Amino acid sequence: MSYPRILRRTFLYMSVLTFALWVLVPILFIGISSFTPRNEIYKWPKPLLPSHFSLDTMQFFLNSYGVLSSLLNSVWVALLTLAFTLAVGAPAGYAVARFYFRGREGFRLGILVTRMFPTALLAVPLAVTFIRWGLYDTLIGVALIHTAMALPFAVIITTGIFMGVPKDLEEAAMTLGCSRFGAFARVALPLALPGLAAAAMFTFVISWNEVFAATILTVHNRTLPAHILTTIQASPLYFRFAGGFFMILPALFFMFLIRRYLFHMWGGATAER
Amino acid sequence: MAAEIRLEKVRKAFGKVVAVKDMDLVVEPKEFLVLLGPSGCGKTTTLRCIAGLERVDQGKVYIGGRDVTVLPPSRRGIAMVFQSYAVFPHMTVAQNIAFGLRMRHTPKEEIKKAVKEVAELLQIDELLKRYPSQLSGGQRQRVAVARALVMRPEVLLMDEPLSNLDALLRLQMRAELKKLHREVGTTTVYVTHDQIEALSLGDRIAVMREGEIVQLDTPNEVYDRPATVFVAGFIGTPPMNFLRAEVKGSNGDVYLAVGDFAVEVHEEWREQLKEMVGETLILGIRAENIEVKSTPEEGALPAQVVVSEPLGSQQLLTVQVGNDVLKVATSPDLSVVPGQIIGLVLTKKKIRLFDVASGKALKFE
């Protein structure tokens, strides 16, 4: 290996390492702290590992006022978002993958435009509109906003997934007696299912992690991130650690499960037919 | 059981490209018809129009006398074998074969029996429990054919089914498909770009070019009496040789002049050619219809050897006559060296004459 190449490699790996530590170290500390007995968290100098593993802090967090109800709200909102997003996003992805229609490329690009405007910019008009429509401070309202946020990703991911299912297979099913829809349901859908599951989890996590819109659009029916955000300033340190760790969990779990599909999706989305 | 297919003025365009141009075609019951042509000639589109996978822009499609022009594939009584095989990866071989019958709500016992029968016919009865990922290319191909045949279709459509197999397997499957067709007797339309496949399988061959059928005939006719220069140049390995020839007359006789050499013509052509004196034609002759003399002699067209390729059963010579390059098939025993001048004797009966402008073969009544 030539000298400049070694240098480049070293630089690359150092950067990767830095970024990895940048993300991982806080997660590690939050994780450790949330399983540290409450009184040990304030100790100085702080030991790297707690004296013993304890569920005490987590328990305190989960039993705090409003946590359980907002957790339920979060789950509901995420599930609603999931249902809305898949109901609209999967057929859209299928259409983009299978059919040639006027403005297809425009559609693929246009769908990303919806992510161009920061939520902060839309906050006031959204709140006003939601109050007018009677959606303000409702779970459905939050789910609708989350759907709007997740939809572009859902369409792009499902497009990649359905492009990965050869058209021939559906046509073969049609020559064997299936209708257009039957061919989709019996052949394309089962083959796309693992990928769709990944897209579903992705959507779930987007909704689960979303703070801003959820905070502005609710007062009493807070989702968990909105609840934590609004109470965190007045909370003890161990509450923050436990809350933080609890919020990270689904995302971590999800990442481990779908790494494979993420690669597939990016490969599939760039490989045009 | 076996139905007639009739296309009337079928037209199909993709944007500005017309893939099939007002095609008329009748495929007889039980016939094995091959659609042959280079890629992009519209042969697959024609097949897909018959299958109902493409909606025709104009014209009518009849299967067994029934107008199926607007019917979906599932209601046309067809079965199709795809180039990619399109075997369902999430089903076992048995489930794949049974798929069509299940869609028809055939009773379970009957399905079981039919699957077993067709699997035995294609010698895949050992593989019924496997998934496609555990099969070789040749085995998948058999599954695809079995899946189509089990439907007992009125019409079997095949889209380059052998093109993904290696050469040896292709040879074997080709013979098997032919045998299968004889046993089952379904009307079959078979798309291929491989002219050898077409010659070996077809009862008739439809040679296509740019969305039109250029010639529709038996394999022997297409090979011996190609209708156009295109067909002559597309069919045969090597393809037909072409020489520029001028029609010349002297003392009431008529001959074809290739350079300074006079090629005698068939007696039956003389009358007609006499009226064409002075015109230039394309003379076509196949490699095996040229006899080679190792020395230039009287009555033989002189040519220079460029390359000689021993191919086992025969020897293929590339020779130059004026500006034209010819391929000549000779016995492997003949010894020639590059640069050597040899003599060619063209078999009179096998000469084919084409019009230069239209490329069409001259008809001699």
CA angle A15-A16-A21, nearest 5°?
Answer: 100
CA B63 to chain centroid, in Å, comes to: 23
Chain A residues with CB within 8 Å of chain B CB:
166, 168-169, 171-180, 182, 187, 190-191
Q: Which of B53, B151, B157 is closest, CB to CB, to A176? A: B151
Cβ(B203)–Cβ(B30) under 8 Å?
A: no
Cβ(B187)–Cβ(B4) under 8 Å?
A: yes
Cβ(B343)–Cβ(B292) under 8 Å?
A: yes
Cβ(B25)–Cβ(B216) under 8 Å?
A: yes
CA B75 to chain centroid, in Å, comes to: 29
Encoding tokens for residue A214?
Answer: 């959820």
ipTM of the prediction: 0.84
Tens digit of each residue's pLDDT (9 = 90 or more) over A36-46 = 887 777 777 77
**Identity of residue B52:** G
Other beta carbons within 10 Å of B239: 17
* Domains of chain A as residue ranges with CATH: 65-270 (1.10.3720.10)
pLDDT confidence of residue B161: 92
pLDDT at A265 over 60: no
Contact with chain A for residue B202, Cβ under 8 A: no
Other beta carbons within 10 Å of A42: 10
Cβ(A166)–Cβ(A211) under 8 Å?
A: no
pLDDT confidence of residue B48: 96
Encoding tokens for residue B168?
Answer: 């040896």
pLDDT confidence of residue B7: 96
Distance from CA of B322 to the nearest CA of A (A): 47
Q: Do A171 and B79 touch (CB under 8 A)?
A: no
Q: Do B53 and A175 touch (CB under 8 A)?
A: yes
Residues of B in contact with A175 (CB under 8 A): 51-53, 73-74, 78-80, 157
Cβ(B63)–Cβ(B76) under 8 Å?
A: yes
pLDDT confidence of residue B69: 94
What's the half-sphere exposure (Cβ side, CA atoms, 13 Å) at A208? 21
pLDDT, average across residues A4-18? 93
What's the half-sphere exposure (Cβ side, CA atoms, 13 Å) at B44? 11
Encoding tokens for residue B84?
Answer: 């990619």
Domain ranges of chain B: 5-234, 241-355
pLDDT at A54 over 90: no
pLDDT confidence of residue B365: 64
Instruction: Tell me phi and psi for residue B86, to 5 degrees.
Output: 50, 40
Task: Identify the three-state secondary structure at position B321.
Answer: strand
pLDDT at A268 over 50: no
Q: What are the residue ranges of helices labelled H in chain A?
A: 3-34, 56-63, 67-98, 104-113, 119-133, 139-163, 167-175, 180-183, 189-209, 212-217, 224-231, 237-270
CA B249 to chain centroid, in Å, comes to: 38
CATH code reported for the domain at B5-234: 3.40.50.300
Q: Which of A166, A169, A176 is closest, CB to CB, to B103? A: A176
Encoding tokens for residue B160?
Answer: 């380059």
pLDDT confidence of residue B31: 95
Please list the residues that pair with B242 across neighbouring strands: B284
Nearest to A227 by CA among A62, A31, A33: A62
Cis peptide before B302 (omega within 30 of 0): no
DSSP letter at A256? H
pLDDT confidence of residue A1: 62
Architecture of domain B241-355: Beta Barrel (2.40)
Distance from CA of B57 to the nearest CA of A (A): 17
Contact with chain A for residue B49, Cβ under 8 A: no
Query: Which helix (H) or strand (E) element contains residue B293?
Result: strand B290-293
Sign of the dihedral through C-alpha B193, B198, B203, B209: positive
pLDDT confidence of residue B174: 92
Task: Identify the three-state secondary structure at position A233.
Answer: helix
Tens digit of each residue's pLDDT (9 = 90 or more) over A184-238 = 999 999 998 888 888 888 898 889 888 888 888 888 888 888 888 888 777 888 8
pLDDT confidence of residue A271: 35
Q: Do B86 and A179 touch (CB under 8 A)?
A: no
List of chain B residues with pLDDT < 70: 1, 365
CA B258 to chain centroid, in Å, comes to: 31
Report the distance separating Cα A208 and Cα A84, nearest Å: 15
A interface mutation test: which of B80, B141, B145, B156 has the most A CBs within 10 A?
Answer: B80
pLDDT, average across residues A153-158? 89
pLDDT confidence of residue A225: 87
Tens digit of each residue's pLDDT (9 = 90 or more) over A108-149 = 888 888 778 887 888 888 899 999 999 899 999 999 999 999
Q: Is B115 exposed, middle or buried (0-12, 13-18, 19+ CB in 10 A)?
A: buried
Q: Do A169 and B104 touch (CB under 8 A)?
A: no
CB pairs under 8 A between A and B: 58
- Locate the chain B residue with the closest alpha carbon to A192: B90
- Locate the chain B residue with the closest alpha carbon to A189: B90
Same fold, B5-234 and B241-355: no
B59 or A107, which is more confident? B59
